[in-house]
Structure 1
Amino acid sequence: MAAGSEKKPVLGMVQANGTDESCVTFVLHEEDHTLGNALRYMVMKNPEVDFCGYCITHPSESKINFRIQTRNGLPAVEPFRKGLTDLLDVCQHVLNTFETTMKKYNDQKQTPME
């Protein structure tokens, strides 16, 4: 890292004046549609979420604005955190399945044919 340069934040929150915690826009830096679409899907599975969407601010910027609106006074940060955790669990399952399958394939390939 160059001298004098600051580390940019990875996550920020934007909340309009006069709104409560149930309506928040999260700003994710250095992210794109790969995370945005998958995370939106996971968050929308929560029945307490009224709206969840994201947009890429500009093609030359690598950040997304990720908006969540919830009902019944649920803070938007809760389904956001749960969506990230659930997505991480799904990714770990896919990785484990891939590695297990590759190990079986390689073991089978090394076994001599009779």
Structure 2
Amino acid sequence: MGDEEDTGKPRVLQMVRAEGADKSCVTFVLHNEDHTLGNSLRYMIMKDPEVEFCGYSITHPSESKINFRIQTKGGLSALEVFQKGLEELTDVCQHVLSKFEASMEAYKAQKDVNME
């Protein structure tokens, strides 16, 4: 079936772990993603003191997927760290969006006052 799951939907995320490896070292394959998510997520995950290594690579310029590797010190699994990084990145994006929207409203209100 290629890059589709049983549901017929394209895959978004795959988890690849070497045979015999523990849960502290995992490679995630993120489909339809690029440096925008890869670098920002890597930054968020590297801030965690439990993380020993985190990096990503673009497989090929003609493919829109990244290999995202996480290795922890063993206290947390790579999956837990990955989920935590995604949640923290979402929180940062929500914060930026709310500040932007508040600034736009303040600008519009100021512009309306100046127009009168």
Q: Deviation above 6 Å: which 4+ runs of structure 1?
A: none
Match of 1:12 in 2: 14
Does residue 53 of structure 2 align to residue 76 of structure 1? no
Over aligned residues, Cα RMSD in angstroms?
A: 1.6
Which amino acid is the alignment partner of residue 108 of structure 2? N
Distance in 1 (CA, whole Å) between partners of 2:36 and 2:66 is 11
CA contact (8 A) 2:50 2:75 kept: no
Structure 1: unaligned runs, 5 residues or longer: 1-5
**Identical-pair percentage:** 69
Which amino acid is the alignment partner of residue 54 of structure 1? Y
Note the C-alpha offset of 1:18. 1.5
Deviations 1:20-56, CA, capped at 9 Å, x for gaps: 0000000000000000000000000100000000000
CA contact (8 A) 1:11 1:27 kept: yes
TM-score (norm 2): 0.90
Deviations 1:53-85, CA, capped at 9 Å, x for gaps: 000000000000000000134210011000000
Structure 2: unaligned runs, 5 residues or longer: 1-7
Match of 2:35 in 1: 33
Deviates more, 1:67-76 or 1:82-91: 67-76
Aligned residues: 110
Match of 2:55 in 1: 53
TM-score (norm 1): 0.91
CA contact (8 A) 1:32 1:64 kept: yes
Match of 2:3 in 1: none
Match of 1:3 in 2: none
